[in-house]
Structure 1
Protein backbone atom coordinates (compact mmCIF):
# COMPACT_ATOMS: atom_id res chain seq x y z
CA UNK A 1 0.00 0.00 0.00
CA UNK A 2 1.57 3.29 -1.15
CA UNK A 3 0.94 6.49 0.82
CA UNK A 4 0.13 9.48 -1.40
CA UNK A 5 -1.45 12.94 -0.86
CA UNK A 6 -2.26 14.25 2.62
CA UNK A 7 -6.05 14.65 2.79
CA UNK A 8 -6.56 15.73 6.39
CA UNK A 9 -4.52 16.66 9.44
CA UNK A 10 -5.90 16.89 12.98
CA UNK A 11 -4.34 17.25 16.40
CA UNK A 12 -3.45 13.59 16.74
CA UNK A 13 -3.38 12.06 13.27
CA UNK A 14 -3.06 12.54 9.54
CA UNK A 15 -5.06 10.84 6.76
CA UNK A 16 -3.48 10.03 3.41
CA UNK A 17 -4.76 8.88 0.03
CA UNK A 18 -3.17 5.73 -1.37
CA UNK A 19 -2.60 4.11 -4.73
CA UNK A 20 -5.91 2.27 -4.11
CA UNK A 21 -8.80 4.77 -4.45
CA UNK A 22 -10.90 2.69 -2.03
CA UNK A 23 -8.29 2.77 0.75
CA UNK A 24 -6.77 5.43 3.03
CA UNK A 25 -3.91 5.37 5.51
CA UNK A 26 -4.43 6.85 8.97
CA UNK A 27 -1.13 7.90 10.58
CA UNK A 28 -0.98 8.80 14.28
CA UNK A 29 1.55 11.46 15.23
CA UNK A 30 3.09 10.52 18.57
CA UNK A 31 3.58 7.87 21.24
CA UNK A 32 0.09 8.36 22.68
CA UNK A 33 -1.30 8.07 19.17
CA UNK A 34 0.51 4.78 18.69
CA UNK A 35 -1.27 3.34 21.75
CA UNK A 36 -4.58 4.74 20.50
CA UNK A 37 -3.93 3.07 17.13
CA UNK A 38 -3.59 -0.34 18.80
CA UNK A 39 -6.60 0.18 21.07
CA UNK A 40 -8.91 1.49 18.33
CA UNK A 41 -8.03 -1.40 16.03
CA UNK A 42 -8.50 -3.95 18.81
CA UNK A 43 -11.90 -2.47 19.63
CA UNK A 44 -12.99 -2.43 15.98
CA UNK A 45 -11.95 -6.05 15.51
CA UNK A 46 -13.94 -6.89 18.66
CA UNK A 47 -17.00 -5.11 17.25
CA UNK A 48 -16.66 -6.78 13.84
CA UNK A 49 -16.70 -10.19 15.54
CA UNK A 50 -20.09 -9.12 16.94
CA UNK A 51 -21.40 -8.12 13.51
CA UNK A 52 -20.76 -4.35 13.63
CA UNK A 53 -19.37 -3.07 10.29
CA UNK A 54 -16.29 -0.81 10.51
CA UNK A 55 -13.87 0.89 8.15
CA UNK A 56 -10.88 -1.10 9.45
CA UNK A 57 -8.80 -3.01 6.90
CA UNK A 58 -5.50 -3.76 8.64
CA UNK A 59 -2.84 -2.25 10.86
CA UNK A 60 0.36 -1.49 8.95
CA UNK A 61 2.67 -0.46 11.79
CA UNK A 62 2.73 0.96 15.30
CA UNK A 63 1.25 4.26 14.10
CA UNK A 64 -0.36 3.50 10.72
CA UNK A 65 -3.57 1.73 9.76
CA UNK A 66 -5.27 1.06 6.41
CA UNK A 67 -8.99 1.85 6.37
CA UNK A 68 -11.76 1.80 3.80
CA UNK A 69 -12.48 5.15 2.21
CA UNK A 70 -15.90 6.41 3.29
CA UNK A 71 -17.91 9.59 3.02
CA UNK A 72 -17.97 10.82 6.59
CA UNK A 73 -21.32 11.91 8.02
CA UNK A 74 -20.70 15.25 9.79
CA UNK A 75 -22.10 14.10 13.13
CA UNK A 76 -20.49 13.13 16.39
CA UNK A 77 -22.63 10.58 18.22
CA UNK A 78 -22.14 10.69 21.98
CA UNK A 79 -23.46 7.74 23.98
CA UNK A 80 -23.59 8.26 27.75
CA UNK A 81 -24.09 5.63 30.45
CA UNK A 82 -23.07 7.67 33.50
CA UNK A 83 -23.31 11.39 34.23
CA UNK A 84 -19.95 13.05 33.59
CA UNK A 85 -18.46 16.10 31.91
CA UNK A 86 -20.88 18.55 30.30
CA UNK A 87 -23.90 16.39 31.06
CA UNK A 88 -23.46 17.00 34.80
CA UNK A 89 -23.88 20.75 34.28
CA UNK A 90 -26.64 20.31 31.71
CA UNK A 91 -28.98 18.22 33.86
CA UNK A 92 -27.77 19.22 37.34
CA UNK A 93 -26.78 15.72 38.43
CA UNK A 94 -23.48 14.91 40.17
CA UNK A 95 -20.74 13.20 38.22
CA UNK A 96 -20.89 9.44 38.61
CA UNK A 97 -24.70 9.20 38.68
CA UNK A 98 -25.74 6.09 36.75
CA UNK A 99 -28.30 6.80 34.04
CA UNK A 100 -31.40 4.60 33.95
CA UNK A 101 -30.83 4.06 30.22
CA UNK A 102 -28.12 5.16 27.76
CA UNK A 103 -28.42 8.72 26.47
CA UNK A 104 -27.60 9.45 22.84
CA UNK A 105 -26.58 12.95 21.74
CA UNK A 106 -25.90 14.38 18.29
CA UNK A 107 -23.23 17.00 17.78
CA UNK A 108 -22.83 18.87 14.50
CA UNK A 109 -19.24 18.30 13.41
CA UNK A 110 -18.29 21.93 12.78
CA UNK A 111 -15.15 22.96 14.66
CA UNK A 112 -15.66 26.70 14.06
CA UNK A 113 -19.02 26.45 15.85
CA UNK A 114 -17.65 24.33 18.67
CA UNK A 115 -19.39 21.14 17.50
CA UNK A 116 -22.78 22.18 18.97
CA UNK A 117 -25.37 19.74 20.24
CA UNK A 118 -28.30 19.42 17.83
CA UNK A 119 -31.43 17.27 17.51
CA UNK A 120 -32.91 15.13 14.74
CA UNK A 121 -34.78 18.07 13.23
CA UNK A 122 -31.53 20.00 12.85
CA UNK A 123 -29.92 16.95 11.25
CA UNK A 124 -32.60 16.74 8.58
CA UNK A 125 -32.89 20.51 8.07
CA UNK A 126 -29.13 20.71 7.47
CA UNK A 127 -29.34 17.63 5.20
CA UNK A 128 -26.56 15.89 7.12
CA UNK A 129 -28.17 12.51 6.45
CA UNK A 130 -31.54 10.94 5.72
CA UNK A 131 -33.99 9.69 8.37
CA UNK A 132 -33.21 6.12 7.32
CA UNK A 133 -29.49 6.70 7.74
CA UNK A 134 -29.95 8.27 11.16
CA UNK A 135 -32.11 5.36 12.29
CA UNK A 136 -29.30 2.99 11.30
CA UNK A 137 -26.71 5.18 13.07
CA UNK A 138 -28.85 5.12 16.23
CA UNK A 139 -29.18 1.34 16.04
CA UNK A 140 -25.44 0.85 15.55
CA UNK A 141 -24.55 3.33 18.29
CA UNK A 142 -26.67 1.56 20.91
CA UNK A 143 -25.38 -1.83 19.74
CA UNK A 144 -21.76 -0.67 19.96
CA UNK A 145 -22.36 0.76 23.41
CA UNK A 146 -23.86 -2.50 24.67
CA UNK A 147 -20.96 -4.58 23.33
CA UNK A 148 -18.29 -2.22 24.66
CA UNK A 149 -19.87 -2.01 28.12
CA UNK A 150 -19.86 -5.80 28.40
CA UNK A 151 -16.37 -6.36 26.99
CA UNK A 152 -14.69 -3.52 28.87
CA UNK A 153 -16.23 -4.67 32.15
CA UNK A 154 -14.48 -8.01 31.61
CA UNK A 155 -11.26 -5.98 31.66
CA UNK A 156 -12.30 -4.18 34.84
CA UNK A 157 -13.20 -0.95 33.02
CA UNK A 158 -16.50 1.00 33.11
CA UNK A 159 -17.56 2.71 29.89
CA UNK A 160 -18.85 6.08 31.08
CA UNK A 161 -19.38 7.60 27.62
CA UNK A 162 -17.91 7.48 24.14
CA UNK A 163 -17.90 9.43 20.89
CA UNK A 164 -18.69 7.58 17.66
CA UNK A 165 -18.46 8.68 14.04
CA UNK A 166 -19.89 6.95 10.99
CA UNK A 167 -19.37 7.01 7.25
CA UNK A 168 -21.01 5.74 4.06
CA UNK A 169 -19.46 3.25 1.68
CA UNK A 170 -20.07 3.68 -2.07
CA UNK A 171 -23.01 1.24 -1.87
CA UNK A 172 -24.68 3.45 0.75
CA UNK A 173 -24.09 1.17 3.73
CA UNK A 174 -23.05 2.79 6.99
CA UNK A 175 -19.95 1.75 8.91
CA UNK A 176 -18.23 2.83 12.09
CA UNK A 177 -15.28 5.08 11.17
CA UNK A 178 -12.67 7.40 12.69
CA UNK A 179 -11.45 5.84 15.98
CA UNK A 180 -12.64 4.46 19.30
CA UNK A 181 -9.88 5.08 21.79
CA UNK A 182 -9.19 6.57 25.22
CA UNK A 183 -9.01 9.96 23.47
CA UNK A 184 -12.69 9.62 22.52
CA UNK A 185 -14.05 7.80 25.59
CA UNK A 186 -14.41 8.21 29.33
CA UNK A 187 -13.14 5.02 30.91
CA UNK A 188 -13.00 4.46 34.67
CA UNK A 189 -11.53 1.61 36.65
CA UNK A 190 -14.51 -0.53 37.67
CA UNK A 191 -13.38 -0.96 41.28
CA UNK A 192 -11.68 2.31 42.20
CA UNK A 193 -13.21 4.81 39.76
CA UNK A 194 -9.71 5.85 38.67
CA UNK A 195 -9.90 7.75 35.39
CA UNK A 196 -8.16 5.96 32.53
CA UNK A 197 -9.54 7.61 29.38
CA UNK A 198 -9.88 11.13 28.00
CA UNK A 199 -10.27 12.64 31.48
CA UNK A 200 -6.51 12.08 31.87
CA UNK A 201 -5.64 14.90 29.46
CA UNK A 202 -8.83 16.96 29.74
CA UNK A 203 -8.24 17.40 33.45
CA UNK A 204 -4.48 17.58 33.14
CA UNK A 205 -3.93 14.41 35.16
CA UNK A 206 -0.50 12.80 35.07
CA UNK A 207 0.72 9.62 33.35
CA UNK A 208 -1.71 9.72 30.43
CA UNK A 209 0.30 7.36 28.24
CA UNK A 210 0.73 4.90 31.12
CA UNK A 211 -3.04 4.90 31.70
CA UNK A 212 -3.70 4.32 27.99
CA UNK A 213 -1.15 1.49 27.92
CA UNK A 214 -2.90 -0.06 30.92
CA UNK A 215 -6.17 -0.09 28.95
CA UNK A 216 -4.44 -1.81 26.03
CA UNK A 217 -2.82 -4.38 28.32
CA UNK A 218 -6.16 -5.19 29.95
CA UNK A 219 -7.87 -5.59 26.56
CA UNK A 220 -5.12 -7.88 25.32
CA UNK A 221 -5.36 -10.03 28.45
CA UNK A 222 -9.11 -10.67 28.11
CA UNK A 223 -8.77 -11.60 24.45
CA UNK A 224 -5.82 -13.90 25.05
CA UNK A 225 -7.45 -15.70 27.99
Structure 2
Protein backbone atom coordinates (compact mmCIF):
# COMPACT_ATOMS: atom_id res chain seq x y z
CA UNK A 1 0.00 0.00 0.00
CA UNK A 2 1.27 3.48 -0.88
CA UNK A 3 2.50 5.61 2.00
CA UNK A 4 3.55 9.24 2.21
CA UNK A 5 7.27 9.91 2.17
CA UNK A 6 8.94 12.82 3.90
CA UNK A 7 9.73 14.78 0.75
CA UNK A 8 7.07 16.43 -1.38
CA UNK A 9 7.04 16.40 -5.15
CA UNK A 10 5.19 19.67 -5.66
CA UNK A 11 3.28 22.27 -3.69
CA UNK A 12 0.68 24.32 -5.52
CA UNK A 13 -1.82 26.98 -4.55
CA UNK A 14 -4.14 24.68 -2.61
CA UNK A 15 -2.66 21.19 -2.83
CA UNK A 16 0.59 19.45 -2.00
CA UNK A 17 1.65 16.40 -4.02
CA UNK A 18 3.66 13.65 -2.34
CA UNK A 19 5.52 10.73 -3.85
CA UNK A 20 4.81 7.24 -2.52
CA UNK A 21 6.59 3.90 -2.28
CA UNK A 22 4.95 3.05 -5.61
CA UNK A 23 6.45 5.11 -8.48
CA UNK A 24 3.15 4.88 -10.37
CA UNK A 25 1.13 6.58 -7.61
CA UNK A 26 1.01 9.95 -5.86
CA UNK A 27 -0.82 11.39 -2.87
CA UNK A 28 -2.75 14.65 -3.18
CA UNK A 29 -3.07 16.58 0.05
CA UNK A 30 -5.83 19.20 -0.13
CA UNK A 31 -4.86 22.13 2.07
CA UNK A 32 -7.15 24.77 3.57
CA UNK A 33 -5.41 27.46 1.51
CA UNK A 34 -7.38 29.53 -0.99
CA UNK A 35 -5.74 31.81 -3.52
CA UNK A 36 -6.84 34.10 -6.32
CA UNK A 37 -5.34 36.46 -8.88
CA UNK A 38 -2.28 34.27 -9.51
CA UNK A 39 -1.55 33.91 -5.81
CA UNK A 40 -1.76 37.60 -4.95
CA UNK A 41 -4.71 37.03 -2.62
CA UNK A 42 -4.34 34.13 -0.16
CA UNK A 43 -6.39 33.04 2.83
CA UNK A 44 -7.07 29.87 4.82
CA UNK A 45 -10.54 28.52 5.52
CA UNK A 46 -11.17 25.81 8.09
CA UNK A 47 -12.30 22.47 6.58
CA UNK A 48 -11.94 23.66 3.00
CA UNK A 49 -9.27 21.05 2.23
CA UNK A 50 -11.47 18.26 3.57
CA UNK A 51 -14.49 19.46 1.60
CA UNK A 52 -12.53 19.77 -1.66
CA UNK A 53 -10.91 16.35 -1.19
CA UNK A 54 -14.29 14.66 -0.81
CA UNK A 55 -15.89 16.81 -3.52
CA UNK A 56 -13.17 15.85 -5.99
CA UNK A 57 -13.51 12.16 -5.13
CA UNK A 58 -17.27 12.36 -5.64
CA UNK A 59 -16.97 13.99 -9.07
CA UNK A 60 -14.12 11.74 -10.24
CA UNK A 61 -16.12 8.65 -9.32
CA UNK A 62 -19.17 9.97 -11.18
CA UNK A 63 -17.07 10.62 -14.28
CA UNK A 64 -15.33 7.23 -14.10
CA UNK A 65 -18.75 5.54 -13.87
CA UNK A 66 -19.72 7.40 -17.07
CA UNK A 67 -16.64 6.13 -18.91
CA UNK A 68 -14.19 9.03 -18.41
CA UNK A 69 -10.73 7.69 -17.46
CA UNK A 70 -9.28 9.59 -14.48
CA UNK A 71 -6.22 9.46 -12.29
CA UNK A 72 -8.26 9.07 -9.09
CA UNK A 73 -7.76 5.86 -7.10
CA UNK A 74 -9.33 6.34 -3.67
CA UNK A 75 -9.64 8.54 -0.61
CA UNK A 76 -6.92 7.97 1.98
CA UNK A 77 -7.95 10.38 4.72
CA UNK A 78 -10.00 13.52 5.32
CA UNK A 79 -7.59 15.60 3.21
CA UNK A 80 -5.68 13.03 1.15
CA UNK A 81 -6.37 11.05 -2.01
CA UNK A 82 -4.34 8.43 -3.85
CA UNK A 83 -3.97 9.04 -7.61
CA UNK A 84 -2.12 7.63 -10.59
CA UNK A 85 1.07 9.44 -11.47
CA UNK A 86 0.66 11.18 -14.82
CA UNK A 87 2.89 13.14 -17.14
CA UNK A 88 0.77 16.27 -17.08
CA UNK A 89 0.22 18.45 -20.14
CA UNK A 90 0.93 22.14 -19.34
CA UNK A 91 -2.52 23.00 -20.68
CA UNK A 92 -5.83 24.04 -19.15
CA UNK A 93 -9.00 23.10 -21.02
CA UNK A 94 -11.78 25.58 -20.24
CA UNK A 95 -15.45 25.28 -21.13
CA UNK A 96 -17.86 28.18 -20.67
CA UNK A 97 -21.61 27.56 -20.62
CA UNK A 98 -22.48 31.05 -19.38
CA UNK A 99 -20.50 34.24 -20.04
CA UNK A 100 -18.83 35.79 -17.01
CA UNK A 101 -15.39 36.75 -15.69
CA UNK A 102 -12.52 37.09 -18.14
CA UNK A 103 -14.64 36.24 -21.19
CA UNK A 104 -16.76 39.34 -20.59
CA UNK A 105 -13.69 41.49 -19.99
CA UNK A 106 -11.97 40.26 -23.15
CA UNK A 107 -14.91 40.32 -25.55
CA UNK A 108 -17.31 42.82 -24.01
CA UNK A 109 -20.19 40.34 -23.97
CA UNK A 110 -23.01 40.54 -21.44
CA UNK A 111 -22.35 38.94 -18.06
CA UNK A 112 -24.73 36.02 -17.54
CA UNK A 113 -25.34 35.40 -21.26
CA UNK A 114 -26.11 31.73 -21.98
CA UNK A 115 -23.62 30.34 -24.50
CA UNK A 116 -24.95 27.92 -27.11
CA UNK A 117 -22.85 26.15 -28.14
CA UNK A 118 -20.49 26.36 -25.16
CA UNK A 119 -17.17 28.14 -25.66
CA UNK A 120 -14.01 26.00 -25.48
CA UNK A 121 -10.61 27.60 -24.81
CA UNK A 122 -7.03 26.43 -24.23
CA UNK A 123 -4.74 28.20 -21.76
CA UNK A 124 -1.08 27.61 -20.99
CA UNK A 125 -0.60 26.65 -17.34
CA UNK A 126 1.90 29.36 -16.39
CA UNK A 127 1.13 31.63 -13.42
CA UNK A 128 4.11 33.88 -14.10
CA UNK A 129 2.57 34.78 -17.47
CA UNK A 130 -1.00 34.81 -16.11
CA UNK A 131 -2.03 31.61 -17.94
CA UNK A 132 -2.13 33.06 -21.48
CA UNK A 133 -4.69 31.82 -23.98
CA UNK A 134 -3.24 29.50 -26.63
CA UNK A 135 -4.55 27.51 -29.58
CA UNK A 136 -3.87 24.13 -31.17
CA UNK A 137 -1.09 25.55 -33.33
CA UNK A 138 0.83 26.72 -30.26
CA UNK A 139 0.35 23.32 -28.64
CA UNK A 140 1.64 21.46 -31.71
CA UNK A 141 4.51 23.85 -32.48
CA UNK A 142 5.90 23.88 -28.95
CA UNK A 143 5.31 20.18 -28.36
CA UNK A 144 3.01 20.51 -25.36
CA UNK A 145 0.83 17.68 -26.71
CA UNK A 146 0.41 15.86 -30.01
CA UNK A 147 -2.69 16.22 -32.24
CA UNK A 148 -4.19 12.91 -31.08
CA UNK A 149 -3.82 13.92 -27.43
CA UNK A 150 -5.37 17.33 -28.14
CA UNK A 151 -8.40 15.74 -29.78
CA UNK A 152 -8.76 13.33 -26.86
CA UNK A 153 -8.66 16.19 -24.34
CA UNK A 154 -11.30 18.10 -26.28
CA UNK A 155 -13.54 15.03 -26.59
CA UNK A 156 -13.32 14.25 -22.88
CA UNK A 157 -13.88 17.88 -21.91
CA UNK A 158 -17.15 18.11 -23.86
CA UNK A 159 -18.31 14.71 -22.60
CA UNK A 160 -17.60 15.85 -19.05
CA UNK A 161 -19.61 18.99 -19.72
CA UNK A 162 -22.63 16.92 -20.80
CA UNK A 163 -22.35 14.73 -17.69
CA UNK A 164 -21.79 17.45 -15.11
CA UNK A 165 -24.32 19.98 -16.45
CA UNK A 166 -27.05 17.42 -15.81
CA UNK A 167 -25.62 16.38 -12.44
CA UNK A 168 -25.49 19.96 -11.16
CA UNK A 169 -28.80 20.99 -12.72
CA UNK A 170 -30.54 18.17 -10.85
CA UNK A 171 -29.08 19.75 -7.68
CA UNK A 172 -30.47 23.19 -8.58
CA UNK A 173 -27.11 24.48 -9.82
CA UNK A 174 -25.82 25.96 -13.08
CA UNK A 175 -22.38 24.82 -14.22
CA UNK A 176 -21.18 28.18 -15.51
CA UNK A 177 -17.63 27.30 -16.50
CA UNK A 178 -14.71 25.15 -15.41
CA UNK A 179 -11.15 24.15 -16.17
CA UNK A 180 -9.71 20.68 -16.58
CA UNK A 181 -6.17 19.34 -16.76
CA UNK A 182 -5.08 16.11 -18.36
CA UNK A 183 -2.02 13.89 -18.34
CA UNK A 184 -0.57 10.85 -20.05
CA UNK A 185 0.28 7.44 -18.63
CA UNK A 186 1.56 4.70 -20.94
CA UNK A 187 0.10 6.44 -23.97
CA UNK A 188 -3.35 6.96 -22.47
CA UNK A 189 -4.86 10.40 -21.79
CA UNK A 190 -6.45 10.64 -18.34
CA UNK A 191 -8.24 13.42 -16.50
CA UNK A 192 -5.91 14.65 -13.76
CA UNK A 193 -5.61 17.37 -11.13
CA UNK A 194 -9.01 18.08 -9.48
CA UNK A 195 -12.61 19.14 -9.98
CA UNK A 196 -13.80 21.29 -7.07
CA UNK A 197 -15.52 24.67 -6.57
CA UNK A 198 -11.99 26.12 -6.69
CA UNK A 199 -11.80 25.38 -10.42
CA UNK A 200 -15.36 25.90 -11.62
CA UNK A 201 -18.20 28.39 -11.28
CA UNK A 202 -21.52 27.23 -9.87
CA UNK A 203 -24.62 29.42 -9.57
CA UNK A 204 -27.97 28.75 -7.98
CA UNK A 205 -30.51 28.11 -10.76
CA UNK A 206 -33.13 30.52 -9.48
CA UNK A 207 -31.14 33.34 -7.85
CA UNK A 208 -27.79 32.93 -9.67
CA UNK A 209 -26.08 33.28 -6.31
CA UNK A 210 -22.39 32.40 -6.60
CA UNK A 211 -21.49 29.18 -4.78
CA UNK A 212 -17.84 28.83 -5.79
CA UNK A 213 -14.44 30.52 -5.40
CA UNK A 214 -15.84 33.78 -6.77
CA UNK A 215 -17.09 34.34 -3.23
CA UNK A 216 -13.44 34.61 -2.23
CA UNK A 217 -12.34 36.53 -5.33
CA UNK A 218 -15.02 39.20 -4.81
CA UNK A 219 -14.98 39.30 -1.00
CA UNK A 220 -18.52 37.97 -0.63
CA UNK A 221 -17.70 35.79 2.39
CA UNK A 222 -19.17 32.41 3.25
CA UNK A 223 -16.68 30.45 1.13
CA UNK A 224 -16.70 27.21 3.12
CA UNK A 225 -20.45 27.48 3.66
CA UNK A 226 -21.02 27.79 -0.10
CA UNK A 227 -18.89 24.72 -0.82
CA UNK A 228 -20.79 22.79 1.85
CA UNK A 229 -24.10 23.89 0.33
CA UNK A 230 -23.06 22.55 -3.07
CA UNK A 231 -21.96 19.25 -1.50
CA UNK A 232 -25.25 18.99 0.40
CA UNK A 233 -27.30 19.52 -2.76
CA UNK A 234 -25.32 16.83 -4.53
CA UNK A 235 -25.99 14.42 -1.67
CA UNK A 236 -22.31 14.13 -0.77
CA UNK A 237 -21.38 12.81 2.67
CA UNK A 238 -19.19 15.30 4.55
Q: Same fold (TM over 0.5)?
A: yes
Question: Residue deviations 1:173-192, cap 9 Å, x none?
Answer: 00110000000000000111
Question: Residue deviations 1:171-222, cap 9 Å, x none?
Answer: 210011000000000000011101001211111111100000111111126x
8 Å Cα contact 1:187/1:198 also seen in 2:
no
Pair 1:117-2:133 in alignment: yes
Question: Residue deviations 1:127-152, cap 9 Å, x none?
Answer: 10001100000000000011000111
Q: Distance in 2 between matches of 1:89 and 1:114?
A: 15
Q: What TM-score results when the alignment is normalised by the length of structure 1?
A: 0.96
Aligned to 1:131: 147
Which of 55, 72, 77 is the equivalent residue of 1:56? 72
Q: Distance in 1 between matches of 2:142 and 2:125?
A: 12
Q: Distance in 1 between matches of 2:211 and 2:82?
A: 27
The alpha carbon displacement at 1:114 in A equals 1.1
Structure 1, unpaired ranges of 5+: none
Structure 2, unpaired ranges of 5+: 33-46
**Between structures 1 and 2, the one with greater helix share:** 1
Aligned to 2:120: 104
SS at match of 1:39: helix
SS at match of 2:139: helix
Question: Residue deviations 1:79-125, cap 9 Å, x none?
Answer: 10000100012221111000111111100111211110011111111
Structure 1 consecutive aligned stretches of length 4 or more whose deviation exceeds 2 Å: none
How many residue pairs get matched?
Answer: 221
The root-mean-square deviation of aligned C-alpha atoms, in Å, is 1.1
Aligned to 2:35: none
Aligned to 1:189: 204
Deviating more after overlay: 61-70 vs 197-206: 197-206
Aligned to 2:43: none
- Within a 5 Å distance, the mapping from 1:149-168 to structure 2 comes to 149-168=165-184
Pair 1:95-2:124 in alignment: no
The alpha carbon displacement at 1:46 in A equals 0.5
8 Å Cα contact 1:76/1:164 also seen in 2:
yes
Aligned to 1:11: 13
